[in-house]
Amino acid sequence: MALYVFLNELSQPGSPIAAEPGGRVVNGLVDLLRAVKRRRRDAVLHCAVPLRDVRIGDSYSIAVWCNDGDRREEWRFLRSLQDRAPFQVRLAELGIDVMETDYRHGEHRAEGLGLAHMFGGLAVSLDYEPRWRDLSVALTREALEERDNGDVDIVAADVETVHASHRGHVAELQDWLEHACRQPVADGGDLWQRREELFPRLDFLPRVEAQFRALQASNPWFGAVAQRLGELNGAVAEWNPANTPEPPYRSRVTPEHAQRKRLCRFEDLDGTVRAFDLHARFTPGAGRLHFRLDAGRRRAVVAHVGRKLGE
């Protein structure tokens, strides 16, 4: 799987900028991307608009930069990096509906930064303002999640995306760049085979295998299930049962209603029938991930990944 690199549109200067500093900003972007390309030959750049139309202030753009002197080599390099369909990164294949998730940085919608987080890629910024000179950028992710009664809530969570704005950042991100996006999960069967590698804090009942294997890459639930499992695994990894009764969940998790708890009883790994009534949600539709917590082992045991129980 290629390393997806997303240009942070919020880093484009909004005020007028002269040709000389504007040229330096674009040259810095080229230097950064060349450094990334040396580390990852499979890097692909995505922009919100065609690359020539990326503006640096009101009166300067990459098109102006291209025409200001002999930039043919640099332009060929940038064109070799950019995907033909900006921001359209195999969404259907990955099973992620970007319309159900929104990212914000402060008060501003953050498309490039958000997609970098969503796809595990690298966000890059124009090195113009000091606020874009950190190795990560904090975001608020808002996603649609269905409640048990069928209503849909907007659930917010604080996340961070990996980020670079100058070539010096690439050396600092060397280890991350080496491993990012190297081993994509092909489908639900692959997800099951690699469950111990991908979710080391989770156990799974045998009944879940068939539910995993039914998830083809084209299934809209495939990406959503992988995301929820990753969030649950991360929350359990951070959990200290001595301090809190539950992990710091990264999505909405609730127990099942009393009248529905009978639907959540399954034979556990040790042969004991237990209730797995804690559940996270995923969309589209009424997707449910049922599990129970094992505080003694600091693990979660997953019993069901599929439609809402009883439907």
Q: What is the per-residue burial (b if ≥16 Cβ within 10 Å, else e) of 262-275?
A: ebbebebeeeeeeb
Q: Which residues have a Cβ under 8 Å from the Cβ of 30 and sit 6 or more positions away?
A: 74, 77, 78
Digit-coded pLDDT (tens) for 184-213? 677 889 999 999 988 999 999 999 999 999
**Is the Cα dihedral 194, 198, 203, 208 positive or negative?**
negative
Q: Is 0.75 surpassed by the pTM of this model?
A: no
- The DSSP bridge pattern shows strands 4-7 and 202-204 to be unpaired
Mean pLDDT of 2-28: 88
The Cα 221–Cα 67 span in angstroms is: 46
Higher pLDDT, residue 115 or 264: 264
Query: Is the pLDDT assigned to residue 69 strictly greater than 80?
Result: no
Q: If pLDDT is split at 50, 70 and 90, which confidence band does 301 have?
A: very high
The mean predicted confidence, pLDDT, of the chain is 86
Q: If pLDDT is split at 50, 70 and 90, which confidence band does 91 have?
A: very low
Higher pLDDT, residue 241 or 90: 241
Take residue 60 and report the two structure tokens written for it: 């300067």
Mean pLDDT of 52-77: 87
Q: List the helix and strand counts (H, then E) for the chain.
A: 11, 14
Cis preceding linkage at 284, omega within 30: yes
Q: Which of 1-5, 111-115, 145-149, 160-164 shows the lowest per-residue confidence on average (mean pLDDT)?
A: 145-149
The Cα 84–Cα 64 span in angstroms is: 21
E strand or H helix that includes residue 54: none
Q: What pLDDT, on a 0 to 100 scale, did the predictor assign at position 311?
A: 74
Q: How far is CA 269 from CA 204, 263, 272, in A?
A: 8, 18, 7
- Per-domain residue ranges for the chain? 4-179, 188-307
Higher pLDDT, residue 28 or 218: 28
Query: Is the pLDDT assigned to residue 88 strictly greater than 60?
Result: no
Digit-coded pLDDT (tens) for 227-255? 899 889 989 999 999 999 999 998 889 99
Query: Is the pLDDT assigned to residue 94 strictly greater than 90?
Result: no
Q: What pLDDT, on a 0 to 100 scale, did the predictor assign at position 90?
A: 46
Query: Is the pLDDT assigned to residue 95 strictly greater than 70?
Result: no
